[in-house]
Amino acid sequence: MFNEQNAHFKKGVAVQPICFGISFTNTMMNHARALVHIYQDGSVVVSTGAVEMGQGVNTKMLQVVVQKFGVGAENVRIESTNTLRIANTSPTAASAGADLNGKALEMACVSLWERLENVAAEHFSISNLKIQNGMLFDGFQNSGNNWLDLIQKAFQLRVNLSEHAHYATPMIHFDKVIGKGHPFAYHVYGTAILEVTVDCLRGTYHFDKVQIVHDLGKSMNTHIDNGQIEGAVVQGIGWMTLEEIIYNKEGKLITNALSTYKIPDIYSVPSEINIKHLESQGHEMAIQKSKAVGEPPLMYGLGAYFAIRNAVRAFNPDAEFEIDAPYTPEKVLMDLYKGR
């Protein structure tokens, strides 16, 4: 109806499904380590190989410790990444940082928890240890003792309160020679519907709405995950519409600075981004069944190209289009009047 009623503005819609495998396809990179120290004052210090770059991985590492030990976040400190503490780290990439390092951290916490369970059983008569808000429970019965009591007793008994754990993703393998194997721990799924309005006089466009159903598994932190999805969608739209690499006739890169190489900014953000989480059981190889959410939503941006293309076709149905991304306003303008 919009397109019928508007001569110089046309809307386009595209549906973009994704299926994204999680793991490094180079199998040897799928491993990580974590080091956990519990100090006699009850504080917990964590080192992993994950690099926090704004994606929230440190928050998820913090959550692993808090949920396993039942202590407050104020008792836990996540150390900066340092190869003197955690050696042979894999890159924080391939959306696998939280999974690899989180699994290693979980293993370290489990080993420490087993030692603390023995101390609780022998010296506090707690047969079913649970810790809530720093208090020790025997099942549902408050023992009257707290986390600090437990740690100080373990320290007095010379129990090892440090643990270094190593995690390697099981089952994955891939033979690059024959191109076969099981390269991914699991897959992430989702679908986006993108709606764009194209100014058919200028060749410019704006994305009105992106609606997403995304498979997060059992999300550990929906605020972080939604932020990752929103950022990835905008980055993906920029990838498909702005980020053009141009060489001159001599082969020199001329889009070599932010003055010539355009990246998405606040004006590239769709007017509306709606995210619905697909109800799923998650996957055992994802940390706490919370599926990776770094790179998969980037692929929703592919739909930006086709949404614009559909809008252009609504204006110029007879044009023969080349597949040429990114679909910059210059290219859009040329396509709008191709053959006219």
| Domain ranges for the chain | 2-23+184-336, 28-170
Give φ, ψ of 178 to 5 degrees: -100, -5
The amino acid at residue 101 is N
pLDDT recorded at residue 9: 98
* C-alpha closest to that of 217 among 274, 273, 293: 293
Residues 6+ apart with CB under 8 A from 59: 221, 224
Note the pLDDT of residue 324: 92
Query: Letter for the amino acid at 241?
Result: T
Q: Is there a contact between 244 and 332 (Cβ–Cβ < 8 Å)?
A: no
Reported as a single tens digit per residue, the pLDDT across 264-323 is: 999 889 999 999 999 899 999 999 999 999 999 999 999 999 999 999 999 999 878 889
Token pair 């270094």 in the structure block, residue: 164
**With contact defined as beta carbons under 8 Å apart, do 263 and 243 qualify?**
yes
Domain 2-23+184-336 falls in which CATH fold?
Answer: Aldehyde Oxidoreductase; domain 4 (3.30.365)
Q: How far is the CA of 36 from the CAs of 22, 72, 300, in angstroms?
A: 26, 16, 37
Indicate which residue of 295, 320, 322, 330 is catalytic: 295
Determine whether domain 28-170 maps to CATH 3.30.365.10: yes
3-class secondary structure, 207: strand
Question: Could you tell me which residues come within 8 angstroms of residue 90 by beta carbon, excluding any fewer than 6 positions away?
Answer: 24, 29, 30, 31, 32, 49, 96, 100
DSSP string, 287-329: GGGB---SSGGGGGGHHHHHHHHHHHHHH-TT------SS--H
Spell out, as residue ranges, where the chain has pLDDT lower than 70.
none
Instruction: Give which of 107, 110, 114, 113 is closest to 32, Cα–Cα.
Output: 107
pLDDT given for residue 318 in this prediction: 84
Strand partners, 273: 210
Does 295 qualify as catalytic in the annotation? Answer: yes
Calculate the dihedral angle through the C-alpha atoms of 208, 214, 219, 224, rounding to the nearest 10 degrees.
Answer: -30
28-170 and 2-23+184-336 share a CATH fold: yes
Give the tens place of pLDDT for each residue, 7-35: 999 999 999 999 999 999 899 999 999 99
